[in-house]
Amino acid sequence: MKVVLATSNPGKVAEAREILHGSPLEIVTIAMWLGDVETGVTYLENARLKARSASRVTHLPVLAEDAGIEVDALHGAPGPHSARFSGPAATDTTNNAKLLRLLDGAADRGARYRAVAVLVLPSGKEFVGEGTFEGAVAERVRGSGGFGYDPLFVPNGEVRTAAELAPDEKNAISHRGLALRALVAEFADL
């Protein structure tokens, strides 16, 4: 049975999931409870579906975000499918390995991260922010910060990967930073 864990402590979530692995109780968050709602074909549709579903269940203001990496040599793939790039059981490690394999020997390694954030209020009112983060795919994974494709993503003007940047350095220029700050600006205008 899926159960929502009521805590604000990420350490407790990780421990509880490990402890209950294989038991009849599966720890989920509100987003996981709502299941695979990412059935849209764009970042905006995915973020909007997540935010609306969670707001409808909880009657609370909900912020959701969808993001992906678009690789020039792959004609913009994996895009909105970035999280599941290497299959239904994909992890950051298997996704990065697949991307490296597909780009083996590729001369054009240009890529960009994109993010769309959507805030849905219980009234149904909606705020949207978008962000783009230009860069290139490195030849091997480097760094332990961030998540997703960060160990392979070298932002334009950088020699380090996004996983080698300090969190505040990454957040100042990242797709997610830009998207959330754009959303806040729209909200503050109200």
Can you tell me the distance from the alpha carbon of 141 to that of 107, in angstroms, rounded to the nearest whole number? 17
Residues found near a second copy in the complex (CB under 8 A): 1-16, 18-20, 23-25, 27-34, 50-51, 53-54, 57-65, 119, 146-148, 167-168, 170-171, 174, 176-177, 180-181, 183-184, 187-188
Can you tell me the distance from the alpha carbon of 53 to that of 155, in angstroms, rounded to the nearest whole number? 33
- Nearest distance, CB of residue 154 and a second copy, angstroms: 19
Tell me whether residue 10 or residue 88 sits nearer to a second copy (CB atom): 10
Residue that has been written with the tokens 């109200």 in this structure: 190
Query: Omega of the bond prior to 78 within 30 degrees of 0, cis?
Result: yes
**DSSP 3-state assignment of 164?**
helix
- Nearest distance, CB of residue 139 and a second copy, angstroms: 24
Can you tell me the distance from the alpha carbon of 77 to that of 70, in angstroms, rounded to the nearest whole number? 5
Tell me whether residue 9 or residue 93 sits nearer to a second copy (CB atom): 9
Catalytic residue among 66, 72, 108, 150: 66
Tell me whether residue 34 or residue 138 sits nearer to a second copy (CB atom): 34
Tell me whether residue 110 or residue 145 sits nearer to a second copy (CB atom): 145
Tokens representing residue 61 in the block: 């203001």
Residue 115: strand pairing partners: 67, 131
Tokens representing residue 179 in the block: 């998207």
**36 in active site:** no
- Nearest distance, CB of residue 72 and a second copy, angstroms: 25
- Nearest distance, CB of residue 105 and a second copy, angstroms: 30
Can you tell me the distance from the alpha carbon of 45 to that of 92, in angstroms, rounded to the nearest whole number? 23
Residues designated catalytic: 66
